[in-house]
Structure 1
C-alpha cells in the first residue's frame, strides 16, 4: 500500500492526497497590572507582527518547494495578526529519499521538494484574564499540501521559530490517490506518531500525550514544558522582587493556566 524510499508505488496521474499540519503554540505570562499587560501585548505584537510572520511562512514555503502566488497579511487593532499564503508547485531540485521516513525535518535549507496546490496560514491571538494576572499568546499555523511531501517536515522549523510553553499539533491525510491499477491509496507514508518528527532534544524538554485515530489517518500530539522557572513567566522583573507568598501564588496560577491549556479543561470545575 505504502511506498518506501527505495520502492515507491507508481501512481496513476498526480498524487491527490491532501496532508494538513496544524501547529498551535502558547506563550504564557503573568502580568500584575494593566500597564504590565499592555506592555506584554505590545511586545508580542511587535515580535510576531504580520511582517515577521510572513518571513516565517516564506521559509516554510521554501522548505516544501512552493512558489508563492499571493500573500495576504494584516496587523489587527488592538492586537493580533494574520497571514495567508497561496502557493503552487515550485522548482524541483531533487526529490529526497527521506520524504517517506518518520523523522524530524530540517531547519531552513535549499528548496528540494515539490507540490502542486497548497496554502499556508498563520493567525495570532493575544488575550488576557479579565482579572489581569494571566496573559497568553497563541499562534495557529496551518500548512496544507497536495502531492508527495508531508508538511510534517516543516514541524522542526516551526518549533524553533517560536518561544513555546504549550504546543498542540494535528496532522491529517485526506482524500485518496490511485496506483496504476486503479487501487485507492488513502495514505502514502508510514506514520505512528507526530512525536517522531520532533527532534530528541526538543522532546526531552516537554511532557507529551498522543491521541491518534489510525484508521482515519488522524494524529494529535500535545506538549507541555517540563521545567518550570517562574522568571520565564514574569514580564520586566524577576522573582527576586517578589515576597515568597506572592511568588508561590503566581506560580500556582501560571501552573494551573498551563495545565488547563494542556488538558483542555478548567481545572477548578
Structure 2
C-alpha cells in the first residue's frame, strides 16, 4: 500500500480530538482432557498475567510518547487479568518518524506526541467449550489518546505481542478540534484503512475484511489466520500421536471455532467437509 503523507495543520490551542484503537485478539486451542484444559488455562494465565500485561502497555506508552500517571492491575480467580494505565502529555521529538503517515508504527521506538487525558486498558478472558474440547483465550486492549498522534502507531507492537489466530481492530476519532481560523476539524490525519498501519508481512498471513464508515471516522478490520497446521492448536501433544480420523475431527472443530469468531455467527455443521482438512494433516 502507498504511504499517505499529510502536512501538519495549525491548531488553535490543544488538539481536542480523541482517537481510540480497540485491539481484540483470540487464540484457539484444542484440549483433549479436562486436565489438558486446566493446564492450558494455567499456561495462559501465566503468560498473560497482570504483570506481563503491564509490561506490554508500558511499552505502548513509550511508543506513543506518554507519561504514566497511574497503574491499576489485577489478576482474577479462577482466570483472567486486567490492567488500566492513565497517561498524560509527554512531548518528545524524533525527526525520523512522521506521526501522520499511514504506515506501521515502530516495534518499539519513540515518536512525536503531545497527549493529555489519555488511557490504556487490557482485559483477558480465557474460556472453554463445556464438552467439545475447544479452549479460547481472548484479550481486549484499548488505547485512547488526545493530541497529535494516532494510537494506531502502537498497533504493530501489539500484534507482535500476542499470538493471534483472529484479530478484530477498531479505530475511531471522536469530538472535534479547531484550526487557527476557528474552523472545526473532525479528523486531523488521512486514513482509508487500518490495514495501512499493519506491516505487509503480517497482512499476508491473514484474510482481512474492512468495514469503514468514513462519514463518522469509524474504521474496522477483521483478520483470520490463513495458514493451518493442527500442531499449532494442540496442547501437550502432536497430531502424530492421534489417529487420522481423530485429527480430522479436531481440525474441523478448531476451524469451526475460528470461522464463527471471524464471521460473528454460529456456523452450521453442514458447511464443513472433513476432506477440507486433509492437506493440513
Do they fold alike, i.e. is TM over 0.5? yes
Matching of residue 101 in structure 1 with residue 113 in structure 2: no
- Deviation of 1:103 after TM superposition, in Å, equals 0.6
CA distance in 1, matches of 2:220, 2:249: 32
Residue deviations 1:135-154 (CA, integer Å, cap 9, x gap): 00000000000010000000
- The answer to whether the 8 A contact 2:50-2:82 is kept is yes
8 Å Cα contact 1:95/1:113 also seen in 2: no
Distance 2:256 2:7 in 1: 49
Moved more, 201-210 or 109-118: 109-118
Identify the residue that residue 178 of structure 2 maps to in structure 1.
178
Q: Which residue of 1 aligns with 2:167?
A: 167
**Alpha-carbon shift at residue 91 of structure 1 (Å):** 4.0
What is the aligned partner in structure 1 of residue 196 from structure 2?
196
CA contact (8 A) 1:50 1:81 kept: yes
Question: 2-side partners of 1:9 and 1:205: how far apart?
Answer: 36
How far residue 198 of structure 1 moved from its aligned partner, in angstroms, is 0.3
> How many residues are treated as equivalent by the alignment?
266
**Native 8 Å contact 1:37 1:132 kept in 2:** no
CA–CA distance in structure 2, aligned partners of residues 195 and 50 of structure 1: 29
Tell me what 1:241 maps to. 241
Matching residue of 2:124: 124
Number of the residue aligned with 2:252: 252
- Alignment deviations for residues 33-63 of structure 1 (CA, whole Å, 9 cap, x no partner): 1100000000000000000000000000011
- Deviation at 1:231? 0.2
Contact 2:166 2:225 in 1 (8 A): yes
Question: Deviation at 1:9?
Answer: 1.7
CA distance in 2, matches of 1:96, 1:214: 29
Contact conserved, 1:231 with 1:239, CA < 8 A, in 2? yes
Aligned counterparts of 1:21 and 1:7: Cα–Cα separation in 2: 23
Q: Which residue of 2 aligns with 1:8?
A: 8
Which string of whole-angstrom CA distances, capped at 9 and with x for unpartnered residues, describes residues 164-199 of structure 1?
100000000000000111110000000010001000
SS, match of residue 212 in structure 2: coil
- 1:206 maps to what in 2? 206
Tell me the CA shift for residue 98 of structure 1: 1.4
Q: How far did 1:93 drift?
A: 2.9
Residue 226 (structure 1) shift = 0.3
CA–CA distance in 2 between the matches of 1:146 and 1:6? 19
> What secondary structure does 1:257 align onto?
helix
Q: Distance in 2 between matches of 1:95 and 1:236?
A: 48
Whether the 8 Å CA contact 1:105–1:155 is kept in 2: the answer is yes
CA–CA distance in structure 1, aligned partners of residues 21 and 166 of structure 2: 17
What's the CA shift for 1:96?
A: 5.9
Report 1:82-101 matches (<5 A). 82-94=82-94, 98-101=98-101
**Unaligned 5+ residue runs, structure 2?**
270-281
Asked whether the 8 Å contact 1:6–1:97 carries over to 2, the reply is no
Partner of 1:41: 41
Per-residue deviation at 1:113? 2.6
Aligned residue for 2:9, secondary structure, equals coil
Unaligned runs of 5+ in 1: none
- 1:95, distance to aligned residue in structure 2 (A): 6.3
**Conserved in 2, the CA contact under 8 Å of 1:65 and 1:111?**
yes
Runs of 4+ residues deviating >6 angstroms: none
